[in-house]
Amino acid sequence: MDKAKESLLKDKLAYVIGDLQHYVAYQKSLGVEFLPGSAKKIPHPQPTLTEVREELGECKRCKLHFTRRHIVFGEGSEKALLVFIGEAPGEDEDRQGRPFVGKAGQLLTRIINAIDLRREEVYITNIIKCRPPHNRNPQQDEIATCEPFLKKQLEIIQPKIICALGSFAAQTLLKTDEKISQLRGRFFLYRGIKVMPTYHPAFLLRNPHKKREVWKDIKKIHGEYIK
């Protein structure tokens, strides 16, 4: 580079630096302590399941609060690698305020134990947190009201695998209208988490011949769990 060009480049650089210094001094005079992008981001603490439950409160966001006894939020490990999601609490769950404690819940416990896990090591919840009257199917407005809290639960737990129990759980998570018979047995993704749809334990109580299919699904889950 010749001396003329070098001198010109130095003059331009000095001009830019001087202009930047004037700009910084002006911003400070306005009370600005950091330039855009220079301030350190303050990390927001990750909420806990307890805090999400407190946010839910004695929920009256949908019509189910008129007939429920207890909100059934969920239970298990906040660090669970495996989450089971059903559709809604039943009568026993509504009475006790705990998920899957009736006959279907006892069957689910045996399924969990069959892959050498305990209920305390997984997390168990439902798409909606209140029992629909007479155990009717959840309605879309009820699902839409409860789904944000389910999302928060999953964001906190960050499981490796979700087992979606029954049509409503699978269809809600996967945003599909396909039947559980078409979905089961295959892994899907929900926000980067592997999802295995399978039949609901209550369905198995009515259709015990389907237990073999569920066991195949559970063995696939176990295979992914131990990887």
pLDDT at 39: 46
pLDDT at 1: 54
Q: How confident is the model at residue 42 (pLDDT cuts 50, 70, 90)?
A: low
What are the tens digits of pLDDT across the range 68-95? Answer: 999 999 999 999 999 999 999 999 999 9
Mean pLDDT, the chain, rounded, equals: 90
Q: How confident is the model at residue 38 (pLDDT cuts 50, 70, 90)?
A: very low
pLDDT at 14: 62
Domain 49-225 has CATH 3.30.470.20: no
pLDDT at 18: 60
Q: What is the mean pLDDT of residues 112-128?
A: 98
Judge whether residue 190 has pLDDT over 80: yes
Judge whether residue 44 has pLDDT over 70: no
pLDDT at 167: 97
The residue with greater pLDDT, 24 or 204, is 204
Judge whether residue 64 has pLDDT over 50: yes
Q: Could you give the percent of the chain with pLDDT greater than 90?
A: 80
Sequence spans of domains, the chain = 1-39, 49-225
Judge whether residue 110 has pLDDT over 70: yes
Judge whether residue 122 has pLDDT over 60: yes
Q: What is the mean pLDDT of residues 124-144?
A: 97
pLDDT at 45: 80
The secondary structure of the chain as a DSSP string is --HHHHHHHHHHHHHHHHHHHHHHHHHHHTT--S-TTTSPP-PPPPP-HHHHHHHH-S--SSGGGGT-SS----EE-TT-SEEEEES---HHHHHHT-SS-SHHHHHHHHHHHHTT--GGGSEEEESSSSPPGGGPPPPHHHHHHHHHHHHHHHHHH--SEEEEESHHHHHHHHT----HHHHTTS-EEETTEEEEEE--HHHHHH-GGGHHHHHHHHHHHHHHHT-
pLDDT at 2: 62
pLDDT at 46: 84
pLDDT at 17: 72
